[in-house]
Amino acid sequence: MGGIVWNEWARLMCLSASFIIFVGGIMGAFQPLPAFDAMRKLPGLYAPPLPVLPVILTVLGIMVVVIEYPLVKADFFNSPSSYMPKVAFFIPVSVLALLEAQTVNGGAYLAIGTVAYLMAIRADFLKQQSALADWSRMP
């Protein structure tokens, strides 16, 4: 029985989260609904002409799709060296998505995908360590 391919699972989780964040951001632009009542009192965040946070979340949802599903199929985008910048970008996006009621599920899914990317980094690190341990043995 094989193990989980963490990076593929994380990629699919982040793609589905980006769709939910994008659609929730569009819905939040027309009917803003903060996840916490204290956020309604912040000046400018939910201003009547155009609420700022849902618009930002719409753009961030598109950016997550661009990062996870690039038009150029280079090996760099699916290598373990590209996982850490993704994790560094996805953590603040998931925190921002958790602040808007329409994008809470997308933020939770993105956080789960980020943890799965961390597991992929860990699996690659363990694979490199075992390869080094096998290479350093004396016959």
Look at residue 1 in the predicted model and tell me its pLDDT: 39
Look at residue 119 in the predicted model and tell me its pLDDT: 92
- Integer Cα distance of 100 and 93 in angstroms: 11
Residue with more model confidence, 20 or 130: 20
Q: Mean pLDDT over residues 125-136, rounded?
A: 75
Taking only the tens place, the pLDDT of each residue in 43-54 is 767 777 788 889
Find how far residue 113's CA is from the centre of its chain. Answer: 6
Find how far residue 52's CA is from the centre of its chain. Answer: 20
Look at residue 51 in the predicted model and tell me its pLDDT: 85
Look at residue 128 in the predicted model and tell me its pLDDT: 80
Which pLDDT band holds residue 136 (cuts at 50, 70, 90)? low
Q: Sketch the domain layout of the chain as residue ranges.
A: 6-131
Look at residue 109 in the predicted model and tell me its pLDDT: 97
The whole model's pTM is what?
A: 0.84
